[in-house]
Amino acid sequence: MAAKVGASAVVAQTAILEASLLWFCVPDREIRSASASLSVRAGKVRFAFHSSGALTSRELDPLRKIGIAVASVHPLMTFVPGSHPSVVGVPFAVEGDAAATRIARRMVRDLGGESFTLPTARKAAYHAWATLTSPLFLAFLVTLEDVARAAGLTREGSRRKSLPIIRQTLENYSRLGPRRSFSGPIIRGDVETVAKHLAVLRKHPDARAVYVALARSALRSLPVRNRKELRKLL
CA 188 to chain CA centroid, nearest Å: 32
- Whether residues 24 and 93 share a domain: the answer is yes
Read off the pTM. Answer: 0.86
**Same domain for 116 and 139?**
no
pLDDT of residue 169: 97
Banded pLDDT at 166 (limits 50, 70, 90): very high
Q: How far apart are CA 33 and CA 45, in angstroms?
A: 17
C-alpha to C-alpha distance for 7 and 25, rounded to whole angstroms: 16
- Provide the pLDDT confidence category of residue 2 given band limits of 50, 70 and 90: low
Q: Indicate whether 73 pLDDT > 90.
A: yes
| pLDDT tens profile 13-62 | 666 777 899 999 999 999 999 999 887 777 788 999 999 999 999 999 99
> Looking at the predicted structure, is the pLDDT value of residue 222 above 80?
yes
What gap in Å lies between CA 5 and CA 100, rounded to an integer? 24
Residue ending a domain, among 70, 96, 121, is 121
Instruction: Tell me if 2 is assigned to some domain.
Output: no
Domain end, chosen from 86, 121, 156, is at 121
CA distances from 122 to 16, 70, 92, 204 (A): 36, 18, 15, 36
Distance, CA of 67 to CA of 112 (rounded, Å): 29
pLDDT in tens, 78-134: 999 999 999 999 999 999 999 999 999 999 999 999 999 999 999 999 999 999 999
Q: Are 11 and 116 part of one and the same domain?
A: yes
- Find the domain containing 60 and state its range: 7-121
| Of 3 and 186, more confident | 186
Residues 21 and 58 in one domain: yes
69-75 and 47-50 beta bridge pairing? parallel
Alpha carbon distance 201, 144 (integer Å): 12
CA distances (Å), 11 to each of 15, 26, 38, 41, 216, in order?
6, 14, 10, 12, 52
pLDDT of residue 43: 76
